Structure 1
């Protein structure tokens, strides 16, 4: 197979992830039979209104007119439109999620708003069956019967609202119910947003892009009224068939689901235990689209996560505008700027802080810190300065055979160094080298096959201004096509060792951080992705902790530092990140399990804290509820740890309210030592476990042997 690298060339693209994903979509679409009705591709964009030439009221009016215009290239989802139209609490900045027809000319609206982020294009084809119901227009928190209304009014002060964004929420599970006074049960969920890929409807609703459906507590209680004859699996199956009629992993069809397990650790309770205060905690849930979850690179789920947080905050204001809102997000990816400037972590932190500042309602966001310590996805090189003498710094990136998904690596110089001061060379497994060449942000080089199809690209991504003080810096990126085909005729990248080389264009040596983006397959999902990794002769030393040859010798470019979740990199007061702690029965102490990610001195040095996520090395994980009531499964990792810290914050709700009112303290000050145990971290393990190991919050089921 003949492969040739092209010279640097300018390309109109937002970032390498979107450009490469779009190229893969277009190429695969061309291999399928043509759709006689065509497609209506649109890209999600997130915008900030400009008010330099208009009043804010006039800017909102102009945006409403734009998304309501039948011939406009811009649409909105119903919840965002309700906020714009003044039908929902407006405490967030005037920033909105829109959908823009692919290929639309941005010039006519450039004076109305600036674009902060762009997402992966979706097919809004109205000829497809749209089974999603209208986003609820009633006050979802107010859709209560008399008993619920009475208890809502009598809810104790500082009762926390627990919210979760995740995959697979078993919202009918008994652990999320509350016992009625006269027999039977009702749900603790105030509302659940079951997201699916966007669709439009012909007719009067054609100006809205529907992102699944919202279930109110009245609807959920209608199912619970059938107890004890309720078949939970049948309800989930019918909903999944509606929301994902042709494709999409139906997680709640399976016996265990990640979101259910995490939420049980965060806020699950025995509904018959009247003494457990957790049974009175209101719940909100956002179940992300399965296609977004399946893409572990994070390329697809950013827009859904941000919209989900905005929806949660609006719902929480209707439930109790003074109650603390604690949002659990046990999702993430590995590669990223890790300085708080990736759109998702930046925007979620911005919304949480803005909401609290404008309404006074406390908001806390809990991220899992990550489980990739041993993944060999992070490396650090020293790019030599000068043109002569020392050769470039190099490392091998191994792309695995039979990988059905793209692979990516990000290359970023140390803070304060301009990326254009670097040069990058990429050599294929057969020895075809790109060579070094100076590039400017917005330029790419493509590796093309004999048919002229790109099978890899080297990008120098442009900078993006997030606000007046925050800018996402340019960075180098390499994207590979899959090494095996879903469709016959698809262009493939060769599997094997790709050699990455970096050098400085200045006289100074430069430290360079390389991160391979996550690209594996999740449990129960179709096995498509095979994780690529860095390789080095120094990466096979004896490891006395693991008792194998997975150790990293001194001087190895592969590192375990900086292997944490790229979305857990904001250090604002409202944001928590959580590491996993493992109980050691032999010493009656806690330690960091081998998978728990590590912070870095060039980024976030450590998580906020850790909680127990493994009952021992043999009895891995902690026990929580599966999808169906009565089932129990083990869950480990920082997802389990984040769920347990969410519960700890819920038990500390009164302290959070007081700290918010006082406007002081640190994250650790939110944890109530009167209700929790804050244990010291073993020496040398703070980079994995944070400032303390938090225990005593309960949540996990006891093991019986």
Structure 2
């Protein structure tokens, strides 16, 4: 691009929860008038306004409406953001559910600031913001099971809005960067999950039309979660045991998925047999020829194990589902808490055939009502701490419970840019930053492409970005904060006429890693850091 040519406008899409669109970091001043930089905002569980509604469900706010709200809600030169959010339906306590925008900090506002926020009056590229707030119930269900239709609709909406903006400006198309800082633990981890396939298909179709679409995803925070097990067998007849610790006072269901390797053509016999014993001693046996088994009489079933075939990959999957271990309604069936034992007997698998087990995410998010309690594998071979009491971040090759293979279950597709986290001061991987796999578990072995700063240091947790109200700054960590920084960098690259794609991120990580000064600690393994530690400028002027 010539130095004299104008930068290319870039659309930055943010799909998240608690998107405080009126924050000063998402405004600009045009002819002494405050305007929003948010072109479109879709609150997917908002109360519709107008007939017919411009979106299939929820409420859409367009730039003109947001600008009008900024004018109407300005008192003595100060914008009353609480009033804006009440008028927009973002904060409506007449409606059931958590109101992230009413809290001091929200995940979505923090992420959106890292992706596309700027100081008021600061010279900035023309980033057009299109944001989508997912339904509260979808965010609250941390398993991620309900993400697919809403994220698919969100991406489709962002692209449709982009097409309309391009047409209004007389441009053939505008480049788009979308950040989705969500994740899940379970899934096939081979790129065939419905949401992964949808993202890959959309990116490929956009590329075929000459539209640059980049999607950034976090690597996940589950490295030390004890939620992944790898079952290798040396011989037929061998039995491996998994102990699944289910916690008391868990008001949400718990799940394990055991994904089988691809089956040889023509084979129909069961390759493994699983004997599942509850903490109260009740056992059931299931294999690949048995559809389902249950615990509990009649309509008071508290546990179920089933076997099915995943249509996308034709891989077999064993699913074990437990009812909550606590409920306020005494009529509801409860699963016993404690250790559930899974004895997996090898019937036909070879040494290279390795089933993979993941426990589904089941915790509670910051600010949301505490309901879920994360279950985990509880094997004696898994050493959580070293002799000095520090977290042990190295796998025991002989242990079935693994730290590798914990990468975000929606981040193993072909095209998304997957980012882990590291500590700025110590230059080491964040303890939680998930790892990919050393070998193929399916068609697409996947590790993070690179790592970005997700914590300032061991004692200064998180990184600074916007709180829910203008002027506020909060520290939030996790790979969810690393991914939007890379989305920001990609947008700047695209605005300069560069590619700003996955290969560009990998190339920058390789270059930045080579440029680290002598004495810098060695880079984490490829499974955790991909091509290396990115050196990105801070997106926020505040320091601590």
TM range (shorter): 0.7 to 0.9
Report if aligned partners of 2:394, 2:403 keep a CA contact under 8 Å in 1. no
1:355 and 2:201 matched: no
Partner of 1:346: 197
**Partners of 1:199 and 1:210 within 8 A in 2:** no
| 3-state SS of 1:304 partner | helix
Question: Any idea what SS the aligned residue of 1:382 has?
Answer: coil
User: 249, 257, 279: which one pairs with 1:429?
Assistant: 279
Question: How far does the alpha carbon of each residue in 1:488-519 deviate from its partner, in whole angstroms, 9 at most, with x for none?
Answer: 31111100100112123326354221100001
Query: Hey, what does 1:591 align to over in structure 2?
Result: 428
Larger radius of gyration: 1
- Alpha-carbon distance in structure 2 between the residues aligned to 1:376 and 1:382: 17
Partner Cα separation in structure 2 for residue 667 and residue 400 of structure 1: 44
SS in 1 for 2:85: helix
Deviations 1:386-417, CA, capped at 9 Å, x for gaps:
35xx4x21110011001000000010123556
Match of 1:213 in 2: 59
Equivalent residue for 1:626?
A: 467
Deviation per residue, 1:76-121 (Å, 9 max, x gap): xxxxxxxxxxxxxxxxxxxxxxxxxxxxxxxxxxxxxxxxxxxxxx
Q: Is the 8 A contact 1:223 1:230 kept in 2?
A: no
2:121 maps to: 272
CA contact (8 A) 1:483 1:492 kept: yes
Distance 1:531 1:537, change over 3 A: same
Instruction: Provide Cα deviations, 1:262-311, integer angstroms capped at 9, x if missing partner.
Output: 110111001211x333xx21100000000000001112222101100010
- Match 2:127 to one of 274, 281, 293: 281
Match of 2:401 in 1: 558
Distance 1:445 1:249 in 2: 36
Between the two proteins, the alignment pairs up a number of residues equal to 521
Distance 2:515 2:480 in 1: 20
Distance 1:553 1:544 in 2: 15
Task: Describe the superposition over 1:553-591 as per-residue Cα deviations: whole angstroms up to 9, x where unpaired.
Answer: 55221110111110010123xx20001111235xxxx21
Rounded Cα–Cα distance in structure 1 between residues aligned with 2:212 and 2:364: 36
Q: Residue in 2 aligned with 1:163?
A: 13
Q: Is the 8 A contact 1:423 1:439 kept in 2?
A: no
Instruction: After superposition, give the CA deviation of every residue in 1:19-47 in whole Å (9 maximum; x if it has no partner).
Output: xxxxxxxxxxxxxxxxxxxxxxxxxxxxx
Kindly tell me: are residues 380 and 248 of structure 1, through their superposed partners in 2, closer, same or farther at Cα, counting changes over 3 Å?
same
| CA distance 1:669–1:619, change in 2 (3 Å) | closer
Kept in 1, the 8 Å contact 2:253–2:322? The answer is: yes
TM-aligned CA distance change 1:508 to 1:689, over 3 Å: closer
Of 330, 350, 355, the residue aligned with 1:488 is 330
**Aligned mate of 2:100, from 251, 262, 266:** 251
Q: CA RMSD in A?
A: 3.0
Match of 2:340, SS state, is: strand
Offset of residue 472 of structure 1 = 5.3
Partners of 2:542 and 2:55 in 1: how far apart? 45
Q: Counterparts of 1:270 and 1:459 in 2: how far apart (Å)?
A: 53
Alignment of 1:610 onto 2:447: no
Distance 2:525 2:375 in 1: 27
**TM-score (normalizing by structure 2):** 0.88
CA contact (8 A) 2:200 2:414 kept: no
* 1:27 match: none
Contact 1:165 1:329 (C-alpha < 8 Å) held by counterparts: yes
Paired position in structure 2 for 1:85: none
Alignment of 1:638 onto 2:479? yes
**Equivalent residue in structure 1 for 2:158, among 291, 312, 337:** 312
Deviation at residue 245 of structure 1 after TM alignment: 3.8
1:328-369 Cα deviation digits (max 9, x unpaired): 0000101110111110111022112212312x1200000011
Instruction: Provide closer, same or farther for how the CA distance between residues 672 and 651 of structure 1 changes in structure 2, counting only shifts above 3 A.
Output: farther
Deviating more after overlay: 365-374 vs 541-550: 541-550
Contact persistence 1:369–1:565 (CA under 8 A): yes
- Corresponding residue for 2:538? 698
Once the two structures are superposed, the pairs formed by residues 624-703 of structure 1 within 5 Å of their partners are 624-654=465-495, 658-659=498-499, 666-668=503-505, 682-703=522-543
Of stretches 365-374 and 664-673 in structure 1, the one that deviates more from structure 2 is 664-673
Q: Does structure 2 conserve the Cα–Cα contact (< 8 Å) formed by 1:446 and 1:458? A: yes
Displacement after TM superposition at 1:156 (Å): 3.6
Structure 1, 684-693 or 342-351: larger mean CA deviation: 684-693
Which structure has the higher relative contact order (CA within 8 Å, separation 6+)? 2
Specify which of 454, 457, 473 is matched with residue 301 of structure 2: 454
SS of the equivalent of 2:470 reads: coil
Please show how residues 537-548 of structure 1 align to structure 2 within 5 Å. Answer: 537-540=380-383, 542-543=385-386, 547=390
Q: Do the aligned partners of residues 682 and 416 (structure 1) sit closer, same or farther apart at CA in structure 2, a change above 3 Å counting?
A: farther
2:35 pairs with 1:189: no
TM-score (norm 1): 0.69
Q: For residues 621-675 of structure 1, give each alpha carbon's deviation from its aligned partner in whole angstroms, at most 9, with x where no partner exists.
A: 11000111110000111111001111111111156x5549xxx99343685999x
Structure 1 residues 209 and 693, CA, compared in 2 at 3 Å: closer, same or farther?
closer
* 1:399 is the counterpart of 2:249: no
Q: Is the 8 A contact 2:41 2:62 kept in 1?
A: yes
Q: Distance in 2 between matches of 1:701 and 1:692?
A: 25
- Cα distance in 1 between the residues matched to 2:114 and 2:46: 28
1:579 maps to 420
2:357 pairs, out of 505, 514, 523, with 514
The question of whether the paired residues in 2 share the 8 Å contact of 1:659 and 1:670 is answered with no
Structure 2: distance between partners of 1:545 and 1:609: 30
By how many angstroms is 1:546 displaced? Answer: 5.7
